[in-house]
Structure 1
Amino acid sequence: MDKKECRDFAKWLASPFFNQRQDVVDLFQYLMAADHLETEKFLEKERIYKKLFPKAAYDDAKFRQIVHFLYKQLEQYLAYQEIQDDKFAFSSAYLKALRRRKVVNVFLSKQRQLEKEGLGGIALDAQGLEHSFTLAAETYTLLLGINKTKDEHLLGSIESFDVKFMADKLKHACLEASHNKVFKTNFQSKFIDEVLAMINSEPELLRFPAIAVYYYGYLIQQKDQDRDADYFLFRHTIREYTHVFSTSELKDIYLIALNYCIERTNKGTFSFIRELFDIYKECLQTGVFIQNGVLSSVTYMNIASAGIRLKEFGWTKEFIDTYAPYLEPGNRENYHQYNLGKLLFEQKKYAEAMQLLFQFDSKHILLNFNAKTMLMKMYYESGEENALDALLDSMRIYLKRKDVIGYHKAVFQNTLKYTKKLVRLNPYDKEKRMALRTEIETVSPLTERPWLLEQLNKM
């Protein structure tokens, strides 16, 4: 828990409505004091018990009971926090209470209020549709109990359930499709074909954002045909209904779009690099990538790489500097330095890039080698032969010392091998130059192939 949650939980424990045990309060206060949670000696049971009951002998059963009650209070507090974050959760529970007590006028007044707030409408996420169904079902049950129900009330309940079911089915089918791609599984969602057929026969169902976004999200993950048209409908739906979805759900939706763009880019449709970049920008604007105040280093790297690839240098520089403070403290300096160095390298500002990348040292082997590869290119292009020779030797030793996964090891070994051949090549020997070109064009894996061929062409 963060500091605010700790303060709020302390207030929760202090309320006699939730907790009437002082020993539970005392235990929590002890655990929160100084560095008690981080230091092993302060977590010894006998030591804690002595603090709670200075004059009593240690009683293990009693101590376990106090810990149990504290844990149960924490459980309830965290559940309460989740319910509080759900806009309609308390209202749905309140409606059930009113219906059970048959407080008809108050129930109907609350029903009208919730409908004005959007419940029962179309601009709802899956959770909102769940509460819409609750509203319709509770209304029907209440009126049935006092003999005032009409066919339309039951019909409203049935339609709400159908919409909720289709939205949920499509959402989970999207998750299943994503899982199948990543983990090479072949899960088959039941009833998905029936849901798709229903939407195709009743396209007005797509006016519900929670159905539309997952309908298109599901379609673009199918491989039976070109899905670009569905992708752009998916993107349009996301833009139009961003406000409908929670931050966590919106992140999952954006990831579907990002994965599609990456897949299309890998297949050679480079216009999707711009799409990828635009989605990253939207994700930053909506804050979906920041969780508990932290941006993952992988996401930080991906966004910077997309900006650099599109030569959006000004925007990328601002991003690298602005979002570095959101990285985990242990990674912050390294990732900021690496991405800034990469940006300067792509801008051909070699003197500044060399200074940053020469100092770069990370526990991340691939990052280290990528940084050294950029240095290698700059030394070669700048004609710094001594620095290049020393670097190539250090890279060879580094690669031998480190435990590098097979594919990456082969990539780096080939990079070193053909850079050394390039350095030693007599530029006036046409036959050897052509032979080296053939080798570079055919060897695999070799991610630096374009750069090596470019240097050959300059000879």
Structure 2
Amino acid sequence: MKDSALLEIFAALTPWELRSFKVWLESPWFNRKTTLLRLFDYLNACRNKDKVYQLDQAYLAVFEPPYPGIARLRHEMSDLLKLLREFLVWQELAQQPLQHNFFLLHALRKRGLEKNFALVLRETENYLADENMQGAFSGNLDQFRLEIEKHQWAMRSKRDPDFSFEKMANNLNAWYVGQLLQIACIEHSQQALLHREKRGVEWIEPLLREIPGRPQEQLPGVALYYYGYHMITDPDDSEPVRIFRDLLEQHQGRLLRDEARELLMLAINHGIRRINEGDKAALQPTLDFYLLGLEKGLLQDEKGVLTKYTYNNILMNFLALQEWGKAAQFLEQYRPQLPPKEQENTYRYNLAIYHFRRGDFGTTLELLRNVNFPDAMYNLEARKMLLKIYFEQGASDALESTLENLLTWLRRHGEIGYHREMYRNLARFTGQLLRLTPGDAEGRKRLGKKIRDTPLVAERTWLLEKLKSNR
């Protein structure tokens, strides 16, 4: 029973949805079977008490003597699943009034109800005229669909149809170009993320040149994806980045929140990849996108909460640019927006990084003593800071202990994947560096070759720098 499609949906429902679905089941319009209500009550009781669903217990809860065969229970589960799926469709429809209106227009047109059709048509036109509800380019498809409805009404009424081909074609072209560029951005981002072989999309530009009206340049929502596409496909050209940022800042208010966030993350992730490839010129534009996201509330969730990972990423960008004052201000300003249960821990951890990068090792050590590390990667970062501090201070005993503890911790945490090998090599090479005799040129040369030739090494540059200074 635990692997059933019914339980998968049931477990995903919010408490409000569960209550609403119970009302739905109690309505004779949707359900006349008491067995389905009893099955719902059993599933809900198990969920509330965190109990495992049992097929035999469900059977006894649903049926009364004389008991039918067990196959009947599976039939009831299938019926409940169908009703639950219908409920989800209604829930989605209730949250999309525009789609609701299109279905209503279709129904009214089929019945020839002129007054009602005209009222709903006007309501839909007003809804589409609200720029905040259009999205990047979805509104163009909706405008196209509305013109089709108007034309079909005129045809049904045997009136001279006002067929606006140019208007319909322009809206359809705008939607098509926007959708094409959106999926092209997704494809290119996936290629970069997964290191996949690049697939040919060279036909896109010649195609765009043939589209009348050039919506990729004239319509802000479509232009965002056009310049976003050029931003990630031509990383050496800074102009698309600038235009993209200006467009996003000016027009994010008319985008759906998810669209605006998607576009922002397209730019941020592109910048992170460039930074990871050693392009220091990408640091400032990436930070600018982060700051834009903070200002517009796109990096926070619906409750205004900022994830600890975003908080850390922004800090690291400030530090890479050596913007010490702005980094400190950021840590304090956005501290209240961190998840409440992790707020102090996350703040202290990032403050420790800030002081570590400034060379204030004493404050760093004091802060790290008061931080818990449930997150594996944060744990590794903290151990790395301790390793470097003790190395710089020449605290050999503390460093040896830190290296031993790091290796023990790595043996217990296979879930961190390739990071385990990277940090294992960091610990191994740091230990060898620690035991290297000053003046041992041959040993230093051999160790340097090992560090350079080993594929996975955390802090490779730092190790080579320390090796060079150990003469």
Indicate the TM-score class for this superposition, using the shorter chain for normalisation. 0.7 to 0.9
State the shift of 1:257 in Å: 0.6
Moved more, 269-278 or 257-266: 269-278
1:18 and 2:30 equivalent? yes
- Structure 2 distance, partners of 1:172, 1:30, is 44
Partner residue of 1:74? 84
Q: Are residues 440 and 292 of structure 1, via their aligned partners in 2, closer, same or farther at CA, if it must alter by over 3 Å? A: farther
1:373 and 2:350 equivalent? no
Amino acid at match of 1:113: E
- Structure 2 distance, partners of 1:121, 1:275, is 28
State the shift of 1:171 in Å: 1.6
Partner residue of 1:171? 182
Partner residue of 1:129? 140
Partner residue of 1:413? 425
Partner residue of 2:3? none
- Structure 1 distance, partners of 2:108, 2:366, is 70
8 Å Cα contact 2:452/2:460 also seen in 1: no
Moved more, 304-313 or 239-248: 304-313
8 Å Cα contact 2:174/2:215 also seen in 1: no
Question: What is the identity percentage for the equivalent residue pairs of Structure 1 and Structure 2?
Answer: 22
Moved more, 298-307 or 448-457: 448-457
Q: Are residues 340 and 24 of structure 1, via their aligned partners in 2, closer, same or farther at CA, if it must alter by over 3 Å? A: farther
**RMSD value, Cα:** 4.0
1:313 and 2:328 equivalent? yes
State the shift of 1:77 in Å: 1.9
- Structure 2 distance, partners of 1:28, 1:17, is 17
Amino acid at match of 2:41: Q
Normalising by structure 1, we get a TM-score of: 0.80
8 Å Cα contact 2:36/2:76 also seen in 1: yes
State the shift of 1:363 in Å: 6.9
Q: Are residues 263 and 242 of structure 1, via their aligned partners in 2, closer, same or farther at CA, if it must alter by over 3 Å? A: same
| Partner SS state of residue 134, structure 1 | helix
Normalising by structure 2, we get a TM-score of: 0.79
Q: Are residues 11 and 402 of structure 1, via their aligned partners in 2, closer, same or farther at CA, if it must alter by over 3 Å? A: closer
Unaligned runs of 5+ in 1: none
| Partner SS state of residue 83, structure 1 | helix
Q: Are residues 333 and 401 of structure 1, via their aligned partners in 2, closer, same or farther at CA, if it must alter by over 3 Å? A: same
1:9 and 2:21 equivalent? yes
- Structure 2 distance, partners of 1:378, 1:300, is 24
Q: Are residues 288 and 453 of structure 1, via their aligned partners in 2, closer, same or farther at CA, if it must alter by over 3 Å? A: closer
Alignment of 1:377-388 (within 5 A): 377-382=388-393, 384-388=395-399
- Structure 2 distance, partners of 1:396, 1:271, is 36
1:273 and 2:283 equivalent? yes
Q: Are residues 25 and 172 of structure 1, via their aligned partners in 2, closer, same or farther at CA, if it must alter by over 3 Å? A: same
| Partner SS state of residue 20, structure 1 | coil
8 Å Cα contact 1:173/1:218 also seen in 2: yes
State the shift of 1:32 in Å: 1.6
Residue 357 of structure 1: which of 368, 386, 393 is its match?
368
8 Å Cα contact 1:98/1:106 also seen in 2: yes
Q: How many residue pairs get matched?
A: 448
8 Å Cα contact 1:308/1:316 also seen in 2: no
State the shift of 1:369 in Å: 3.1
| Partner SS state of residue 58, structure 2 | helix
Partner residue of 1:234? 244
Partner residue of 2:123? 113
Partner residue of 1:323? 338
Alignment of 1:149-164 (within 5 A): 149-150=160-161, 152-164=163-175
Q: Are residues 304 and 7 of structure 1, via their aligned partners in 2, closer, same or farther at CA, if it must alter by over 3 Å? A: farther
8 Å Cα contact 2:98/2:127 also seen in 1: no
- Structure 1 distance, partners of 2:432, 2:369, is 20
Moved more, 205-214 or 398-407: 398-407
Residue-by-residue CA offset, 1:368-410 (whole Å, 9 max, x unaligned): 3321110122234445443223223433555567657567635
Residue-by-residue CA offset, 1:399-423 (whole Å, 9 max, x unaligned): 5676575676356524653466358
- Structure 1 distance, partners of 2:126, 2:47, is 50
8 Å Cα contact 1:344/1:350 also seen in 2: yes
- Structure 2 distance, partners of 1:114, 1:318, is 43
Alignment of 1:82-97 (within 5 A): 82-97=92-107
8 Å Cα contact 2:448/2:464 also seen in 1: no
- Structure 1 distance, partners of 2:238, 2:48, is 56
Q: Are residues 360 and 52 of structure 1, via their aligned partners in 2, closer, same or farther at CA, if it must alter by over 3 Å? A: same
Alignment of 1:238-257 (within 5 A): 238-257=248-267
Residue-by-residue CA offset, 1:306-363 (whole Å, 9 max, x unaligned): 3444531231244355323387xxxx88766644543443355544532453576757
Unaligned runs of 5+ in 2: 1-12
State the shift of 1:57 in Å: 1.8
